[in-house]
Amino acid sequence: MCDSENPIITQCFDRTELTGKKRPETAVTQFKNSLLKLMEILMSKEPSYVRCIKPNHAKQAGNFDEVLIRHQVKYLGLMENLRVRRAGFAYRRKYEVFLQRYKSLCPETWPTWNGKPQEGVSALLKHLGFKQEEYKLGRTKIFIRFPKTLFATEEALEVRKQSLATKIQAAWRGFYRRKKYLQMKHSAVTIQAWWRGTLGRRKAAKKKWAVEIIRRFIKGFIYRNCSRCPENEYFLDYIRYSFLMNLKRNLPKTVLDKSWPVPPPSLREASQLLRGLCMQNMVWSYCKRISPEWKAQLEQKVVASEIFKGKKDNYPQSVPRLFLNTRLGNEEINAKILQVLGNEALKYAVPVIKYDRRGYKARARQLLLTQNAAVLVEEAKVKQQIDYSNLTGISVSSLSDNLFVLHVLHQDNKQKGDVVLQSDFVIETLTKIAVSANKVNSVNINQGSIKFTVGQGKEGIIDFTSGSELLIAKAKNGHLAVVAPRLNSR
């Protein structure tokens, strides 16, 4: 359409509209723009005033009624206007009207002028900076020569109106805000007074309540050892409640925890009953959760405690260690030995060192505990079998050494005498032997020395002394000397 040869179509479809992305102007926008352009043109021109005169009453062309025309010219003021225009002054106003309209433009005349209107107009014109040729002052009126001077004055008046409106708005807003602030202040003071009164009444009531409570406590403390009465019932109830709440927060967590809050004198009997119930409940809960393996472990630990606690130096070191079912696996025990034992169940096995009865020479052995006997084994050979019925006692020192002696019945011809053994797990081993042979009360803990039967009525002696390190050797007097470090754990 832009390339059409028809000039009308080409004018309607301008090529510049193809590149521009703005929306085309609407009819309203075009009208607005045209009106703005017209106003610019009018403001750039000087206005001229036209008076229309009626020539005759018959509205006939070329007929002038002189009387009618003079009458119109006289009463329309055209002669005075002509004389003024001839002098060059197009605008005239009385001093009072001019001053009333434009007095806000001068600080001297605003807001009121107390002098003569003519003097006020002169001060106003001087402040506005009017030149002498732009105006003239008559007896009752002011005359302005150029319209642009009047327009400039009107523009200044419009600006002044905006300033005055702003000041009036500011004054009104200030007045309104001050009034609202005073109302809010009065409301705040009222609320504060009410709230302070409420707080004061609450505080007074709280003090009164506190006085009553303190008075009841003092009376209850005075009569605390008497039987329950109105004077001490509140105090006793509070003591009971405090003790029970403290007990709730500090109940023992485990069976081994022996802590218990100290009860007041009036609740000692109840405290003892509660403590027994609490311990009974913890024991019942613990026993309910315990497994058979752990139960057996605890039973053995209890036996070890009965035998060795406070009597042997290295017992405390064995407490945190668990007792194992065996210290030797089936692959470490010779198959021939297992065949010899047959159907007899192996309850415990541990590596030990056996000391000969004569020269006290150390020899590696294995100690096997069965249902009915303790068997001493050297590789694939059974060296000695001690029936539990022939086991008369077990002796061990109070020091930290690992030696112990198994005493056997002398009338048994199969036995060669008592057995001297050393085990790295002496507490565990002796506990297992005592439980298996039912010889818990036959374990003797000696200080100084242990006597044992060598055979054929002869006796051997093991002397125990304290030293810095463990040492086992045959002494010159023929005894077995054992030096063990003192752990100072008892």
Lowest mean pLDDT across 42-56, 440-454, 471-485: 42-56
> What is the arrangement of strands in the sheet containing 91-94, beginning at the earlier edge strand?
91-94, 141-144, 135-137
Tell me the torsion sign for CA atoms 117, 122, 126, 129: positive
CB under 8 Å to 471, separation ≥6 — which residues?
A: 481, 482, 483
Percentage of the chain beyond pLDDT 90 is 22
Q: What pLDDT does 357 receive?
A: 74
The backbone torsions φ and ψ at residue 182, rounded to the nearest 5 degrees and listed phi first, read -65, -40
Contact between 482 and 461 under an 8 Å Cβ cutoff? The reply is no
Q: Is the pTM of this model over 0.85?
A: no
Yes or no: say if 91 and 141 are a contact pair by the CB < 8 Å rule: no
From residue 265, alpha-carbon distances to 172, 224, 240, 258, 277 in Å are 79, 9, 11, 20, 20
- Residue 202, pLDDT above cutoff 80: yes
**How many CB atoms sit inside 10 A of residue 105's CB?**
17
- Please state the domain extents for the chain: 7-44, 88-223, 232-289, 315-485
- pLDDT of 51 over the 90 cut: no
Residue 80, pLDDT above cutoff 80: no
**Each residue's pLDDT tens digit, 385-443:** 888 888 899 999 988 888 999 988 876 656 678 889 999 999 999 999 999 999 888 89
CATH of domain 88-223: 3.30.70.1590
Residue 404, pLDDT score: 92
Element housing 430 (H / E): helix 426-437
Q: What is the 3-state secondary structure (H, E, C) of 366-398?
A: EEEEECCEEEEEECCEEEEEEEHHHEEEEEEEC
- Please give the average per-residue pLDDT across 93-100, as a whole number: 82
Q: What single-letter amino acid sits at 432?
A: K
Instruction: Return the CATH architecture of domain 315-485.
Output: Roll (2.30)
Place of tokens 């009965």: 306
What's the pLDDT band for 20 if we cut at 50, 70, 90? Answer: low
Asked whether the beta carbons of 434 and 323 are under 8 A apart, the reply is no
Top pLDDT among 214 and 147 is at 214
349 vs 34: CA distance, rounded Å:
120
pLDDT digits (tens, 9 = 90+) for 127-138: 888 877 777 787
Q: Residue 318: name the closest of 195, 417, 419, 432 by CA.
A: 432
Please determine whether the domains at 88-223 and 315-485 fall in the same fold group of CATH: no
Q: Residue 297 corresponds to which amino acid?
A: Q
Kindly state the percentage of the chain with pLDDT values over 70: 92
